[in-house]
């Protein structure tokens, strides 16, 4: 495509996003550099009540990493003295997709390019996603080709329930007859990658999710050139589901907006009505979402959606009616402890962000639906006479959009090409000079590069089908408008 054709289609997409997703428009107008934008993410007021509630969250984060890293825990450089704002726009999986790896650079720019090791970067990632999700496809991408970590039969499992496993991409490629798709140099890299994964100490890991925390932590430095690695902050993933579960076990012991959502039938009905239809909540008539929790599928690492019926949460699948959950304090707490249920995204956001006041650093989708969830909470709490709680919710900022700004490219055969994590590993990591250059770019310019993938997401959820544009432009096309300086 010519530059003028790219610009023309980009403008058509802009117009539709501005019309149907107006909440996103301000992000296309941010003139700050990425570095300045990143610094401002942590500059916001925090109510004293939220500070007090956050102690619970911090305790459970520390407990998790203390168990997983044991004798190396102190070297992680955990610091919770500042305002708490965490990347929630990530999936609990190996580093791969440029949307996700770039988010950790945008969110933590001030911790990079330093001479001494900085405080750890904490990501509260989604552990509910199946291995076969938009950002993963059952493994990772290397040189434009899929490398599997799961078999086809496993790809729809819930990552939260997957047991500890071998991470053996080379064996899997050979088993499915695709090893020959890679040339000699690529095969050598993939063999080294399998050896790298096999060298990680998983002895403290309970399950696959724990393994991923270690894999991400060990892989992260490889995104950067060797001379930068000693001063890099640790990158630590904890699943939203596990963290929120631990918080719920405490919260449900007392009266608060979360326990009222589950155990006060009148308040619960108001919540069900006010949040219905928001992305990540529930649409019962379409079989989308779940009411508050997911129920473990018996004998398999999958989950069941549940709906409120009277004073119970009943599985949608009638075969499992006997697994109904009484909406009573002790049964719910015991099921959380045994991991027979885990919190939905609605419950996760309600606990961590709107009750505890942790600022969510978002993707382009979550920037929209978290704003809508906030508005629904404000309406619900005000109507229930909980004005003090509504004021606290109103303080929570949901406009820290960090995912969707792709930063990783190279020039190949005179074209700008998007790089996935393993492409960068194979290249020896991003140079210090490249990192400096991208952090000086304007937010609005980098954000505009992701508009093609944003459009795929938003048209499915917000744009009338009869107005859909037959999109032709890609990441790489749009990148030529912003990253043409790459040699």
How does pLDDT run along the chain (487 residues), one tens digit per residue?
899 999 999 999 999 999 999 999 999 999 999 999 999 999 999 999 999 999 999 999 999 999 999 999 999 999 999 999 999 999 999 999 999 999 999 999 999 999 999 999 999 999 999 999 888 889 999 999 999 999 999 989 999 999 999 999 999 999 999 999 999 999 999 999 999 999 999 999 999 999 999 999 999 999 999 999 999 999 999 999 999 999 999 999 999 999 999 999 999 999 999 999 999 999 999 999 999 999 999 999 999 999 999 999 999 999 999 999 999 999 999 999 999 999 999 999 999 999 999 999 999 999 999 999 999 999 999 999 999 999 999 999 999 999 989 999 999 988 999 999 999 999 999 999 999 999 999 999 999 999 988 999 999 999 999 999 999 999 899 999 999 999 8
Q: Are residues 101 and 221 in the same domain?
A: yes
Residue with tokens 């009338």: 464
Residues 93, 136: Cα–Cα separation, whole Å: 8
Q: Is residue 173 part of a domain?
A: yes
Nearest 5°: phi and psi at 238? -130, 135
pLDDT computed for residue 324 by the predictor: 98
Beta bridge partners of 200: none
Entry pTM: 0.96
pLDDT at 236: 98
| Same domain membership, residue 72 and residue 22 | no
Q: 188 and 205: one domain? A: yes
Instruction: Write the DSSP symbol of residue 234.
Output: P
Q: What does the pLDDT read at residue 381?
A: 98
Residue 106 and residue 64 share a domain? yes
Domain contains 338: no
Identify the pLDDT of residue 134.
Answer: 86
Both 145 and 23 in a single domain? no
Q: What pLDDT shows up at residue 414?
A: 84
Exposure class string for 196-207: b at 16+ Cβ within 10 A, else e: ebeeeebeebeb
Give the pLDDT confidence score for residue 1 in this predicted structure: 83
Q: Is residue 330 part of a domain?
A: no
Please report, for residues 102, 358, 366, the alpha-carbon distance to residue 403 in angstroms, rounded to integers and kept in the order given: 7, 18, 10
DSSP H or E run through 312: strand 312-315
Q: Does 482 share its domain with 381?
A: no
In this structure, the answer to whether residues 115 and 150 fall within a common structural domain is yes
Q: Which residue has the tokens 């991400």?
A: 216
Range(s) of the domain holding residue 92: 32-255+346-439
Same domain, yes or no, for 77 and 158? yes
- E strands, 373-450, in order: 400-401, 409-412, 415-418
Instruction: Tell me, yes or no, whether 154 and 140 share the same domain.
Output: yes
* Residues 169 and 27 occupy one common structural domain: no
pLDDT for position 339: 98
Task: Indicate the number of domains in the chain.
Answer: 2
Q: How do strand 235-239 and strand 121-125 relate by DSSP bridges?
A: parallel
On whether residue 298 sits in a domain, the answer given is no
Would residue 378 count as lying in a domain? yes
In a domain, 127, yes or no: yes
In a domain, 78, yes or no: yes
Residue 116: CA atoms inside 13 Å, Cβ hemisphere, count? 2
pLDDT for res 348: 98
If asked whether residues 202 and 84 sit together in one domain, one would say: yes
CA distance 192 to 241: 32
Is 328 within the bounds of a domain?
A: no
Instruction: Work out the widest C-alpha separation in the chain, in whole angstroms.
Output: 68
Q: Which residues contact 73 (CB under 8 A, 6 or more apart)?
A: 65, 66
Residue 466 token pair: 């009869």
Judgement on whether residues 149 and 230 belong to the same structural domain of the protein: yes
Nearest CA to 233 among 126, 125, 122? 122
- Contacts of residue 260, defined as CB under 8 A and 6 or more positions apart, other chains included, come to 267, 268
């Amino acid at each position: 495509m010519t530059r003028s054709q790219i610009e023309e289609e980009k403008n058509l997409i802009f117009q539709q996003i501005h019309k149907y997703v107006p909440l996103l428009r301000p992000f296309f107008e941010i003139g700050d550099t990425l570095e300045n934008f990143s610094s401002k993410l942590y500059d916001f007021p925090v109510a004293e009540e939220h500070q007090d509630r956050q102690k619970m969250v911090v305790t459970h984060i520390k407990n998790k990493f203390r168990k997983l890293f044991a004798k190396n825990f102190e070297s992680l450089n955990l610091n919770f003295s500042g305002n708490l704002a965490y990347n929630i726009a990530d999936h609990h999986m190996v580093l791969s997709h440029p949307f996700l790896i770039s988010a950790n650079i945008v969110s933590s720019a001030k911790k990079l390019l330093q001479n001494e090791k900085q405080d750890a970067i904490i990501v509260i990632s989604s552990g509910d996603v199946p291995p076969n999700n938009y950002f993963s496809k059952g493994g990772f991408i290397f040189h434009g080709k899929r490398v599997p970590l799961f078999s086809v039969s496993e790809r729809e499992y819930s990552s939260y329930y997957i047991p500890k496993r071998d991470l053996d991409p080379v064996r899997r490629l050979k088993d499915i007859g695709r090893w020959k798709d890679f040339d000699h140099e690529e095969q050598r890299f993939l063999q080294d990658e399998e050896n790298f994964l096999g060298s990680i100490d998983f002895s403290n890991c309970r399950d696959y999710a724990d393994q991923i925390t270690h894999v991400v932590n060990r892989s992260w430095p490889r995104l950067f050139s060797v001379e930068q690695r000693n001063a890099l902050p640790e990158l630590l993933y904890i699943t939203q589901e596990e963290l929120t579960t631990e918080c719920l076990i405490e919260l449900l012991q007392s009266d608060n907006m979360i326990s009222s959502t589950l155990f006060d039938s009148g308040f619960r009905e108001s919540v069900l009505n006010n949040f219905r239809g928001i992305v990540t909540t529930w649409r019962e008539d379409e079989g989308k979402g779940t009411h508050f929790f997911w129920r473990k599928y018996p004998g398999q690492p999958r989950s069941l959606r549940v709906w409120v019926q009277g004073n119970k949460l009943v599985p949608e699948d009638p075969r499992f009616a006997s697994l109904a959950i009484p909406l009573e304090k002790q049964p719910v707490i015991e099921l959380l402890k045994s991991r027979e249920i885990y919190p939905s995204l609605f419950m996760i956001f309600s606990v961590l962000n709107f009750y505890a006041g942790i600022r969510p650093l978002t993707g382009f989708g979550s920037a929209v639906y978290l704003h809508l969830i906030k508005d629904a909470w404000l309406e619900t709490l005000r109507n229930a006479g909980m004005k003090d709680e509504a004021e606290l919710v109103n303080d929570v900022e949901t406009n820290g959009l960090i995912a969707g700004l792709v930063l990783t490219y190279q020039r190949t055969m005179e074209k700008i090409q998007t790089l996935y994590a393993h492409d960068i590993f194979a290249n020896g990591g991003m140079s210090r000079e490249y990192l400096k250059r991208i952090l000086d770019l304007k937010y609005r310019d980098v954000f505009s590069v992701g508009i093609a993938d944003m459009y795929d997401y938003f048209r499915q959820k917000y744009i009338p089908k009869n107005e859909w544009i037959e999109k032709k432009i890609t990441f790489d096309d749009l990148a030529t408008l912003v990253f043409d300086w790459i040699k």
